[in-house]
Amino acid sequence: MQTMCEPSSAVSLDIETIPWGGQEYVVETRFGPLSVFVCGDEEKPALITYPDVALNYMSCFQGLLFCPEAASLLFHNFCIYHIDPPGHELGSCAITSDQPIPSADDLADQVVDVLDYFGLREVICMGVTAGAYILTLLALNHSKRVLGLILVSPLSQVPSWKEWFYNKLIMGLLYFYGMSSLVKETLLQRYFSQELRSMPGGESDIVQACRRLLDERQAKNVMRLLQAIHQRRDITQRLKTLKCRTLIFVGEHSSFLHEAVHINHHMDKRFSALVEVKSCGSLVTEEQPHSMLIPLEYFLMGYGFYRPLKLPVRNSPPSPLSPCISPDLLSPQSMGLKLKPIKTRVQMEDEAL
């Protein structure tokens, strides 16, 4: 059943609204239509993105893609398929109450339908919190189709008591009062650090922009997605079976920091790495996108992906990845990162000797 306000199968959006250009598709899946915004050359390898609760691709990934170095790296190597959760796309209508609420597994199956629609056999995935959980399910259930995972403040366990309480609070407020000020404030606490939300002179521009974008969300649609993630299964024991390379980002002030550490601990250390970003909340892609550049570049080098030598953006600031910079300046400490050490089996055997 079609729930989109615009029923067309392909909609071109104003390039001034979406600086990197692209086209929006409405893909019919087994659990209803899904909005997918495609950016770049479709002949290139595919990068799939999936945002957190109440966000869409613009409010979740534009900070990262506005970085000239990140845009150069990603658009040079990939065609990006931004998947918005059901009812989270720009200009969405409220999903009717007669439609069943999908589970997290259903949402992962929707992604499979999207891959089939575009004829994508193998992809790399980038997801934030709820989106990270959904894309991890995708990798677990369809391991041959997911070559790599980039997870930001991910989830793997059932909600903690604190998360359970906040989820119940938000769902109740959404049901009775819609996207109220209290709901928006609670969601902003989920996304951003206290430092960013309480800067001298008021909120930062990033927080204010996110607050405005939350005003556009349909309360019922947000409630449906939050309920699906609230009822998620614990997938901890399955993490060891993941064979794709995984890069995890999390802010040191994220309420999901423990989850990220837990996930990295239970993954095969040969294939995973954890980057803990200082002075940052959960939404690293918006709050500290520059901190992702170095780890992302090295992660993608493992697949043979590199940035072009020259940036297409004029008068851009010097790249922190420039080969003319001293290697000492590329240390994790200089980028404000805490890198959790990765011990391979070979290293562990050497230490034992």
If pLDDT is split at 50, 70 and 90, which confidence band does 137 have? very high
| C-alpha–C-alpha distance, residues 57 and 209, integer Å | 14
**Bridge partner list, 247:** 150, 273
Residue 27 has pLDDT above 90, yes or no: yes
Q: Residues near 74 by Cβ (< 8 Å), separated by ≥ 6?
A: 47, 65, 80
DSSP state of 78: -
Q: CA neighbours within 13 Å on the CB side: how many for 58?
A: 22
Instruction: Please provide the average confidence, as pLDDT, over all residues in the chain.
Output: 85
**Bridge partner list, 152:** 128, 249
Joined tokens for residue 337 = 């990162």
If pLDDT is split at 50, 70 and 90, which confidence band does 202 have? confident
Q: Which of 146, 123, 131, 91 has its CA nearest to residue 284? A: 131
pTM: 0.85
pLDDT, one tens digit per residue, over 333-348 is 433 444 443 333 333 3
**Bridge partner list, 249:** 152, 275
253 compared with 336, residue with greater pLDDT: 253
Q: Residues near 265 by Cβ (< 8 Å), separated by ≥ 6?
A: none
Q: Residues near 190 by Cβ (< 8 Å), separated by ≥ 6?
A: 52, 53, 129, 166, 255, 282
What average pLDDT does the segment 283-297 reach? 96
If pLDDT is split at 50, 70 and 90, which confidence band does 18 have? low
Angle at 204 between CA 128 and CA 280, to 5 degrees: 40
What average pLDDT does the segment 104-124 reach? 98
pLDDT, one tens digit per residue, over 81-101 is 999 999 999 889 999 989 999
Looking at 13-22, 167-176, 275-284, which range is the least confident one? 13-22
pLDDT, one tens digit per residue, over 313-336 is 444 343 333 332 233 333 344 334
